[in-house]
Amino acid sequence: MTVTYVIEGSGVTGADSFWTAVGEAVNGPGGYFGRNLDAFADCLSGGMGTPDDGDFVFEWRDHARSARALGHAETARYLERLAARAHESNRGRLREECARAAAGRGPTLFDRLVEIIRDRAGADGLRLL
């Protein structure tokens, strides 16, 4: 039986609130399901609250609001925070990505999250409402 997790997009105002929303959608109040893109992808691979057989769907309600909140400006902030604590060998790349995002170019956090979900859960693993 397919399990459906509902992400309430109306409450997503940035990356931090997304991590909270998806954590609570999967694991209940205060639940964890990643706090960065890599951890989120890892959580989708199993063992963090989703069924072992991978039979689940994310229903992302009010996704358009989330897409705006997780747009280029928030992407630039997210990448700047990553660059500040990244290994020096990764800082240049992260700062370049940050500059592109600040200029309104390149994939947004929303785009990356959608891609990760579809990569890990399949095309049918995400319903954007």
In a shared domain, residues 95 and 121: no
In a shared domain, residues 97 and 57: no
The residues, ordered by sequence, that sit 6+ positions from 86 with a Cβ below 8 Å of its Cβ are 94
Tell me the pLDDT tens digit for each residue of 18-49: 999 999 999 999 999 999 999 999 998 878 88
In a shared domain, residues 3 and 34: yes
Q: How far is CA 76 from CA 56, 70, 98, 111, 119, in A?
A: 31, 10, 5, 13, 23
Number of domains in the chain: 2
Tell me the pLDDT tens digit for each residue of 46-56: 788 888 777 89
In a shared domain, residues 17 and 44: yes
In a shared domain, residues 31 and 79: no
The per-residue pLDDT for 113 is 97
Domain that holds residue 1: 1-70+108-129
| Residue 61 bridge partners (DSSP) | 8
Tell me the pLDDT tens digit for each residue of 10-21: 999 999 999 999
In a shared domain, residues 60 and 19: yes
Q: Residue 25: which CATH number?
A: 3.30.370.10
In a shared domain, residues 64 and 121: yes
Tell me the pLDDT tens digit for each residue of 51-86: 877 789 999 999 999 999 999 999 999 999 999 999
pLDDT at 126 over 90: yes
The per-residue pLDDT for 47 is 80
Q: CA torsion, points 75, 79, 80, 82, in degrees to nearest 10? A: 140
Q: What is the CA radius of gyration of the chain?
A: 15
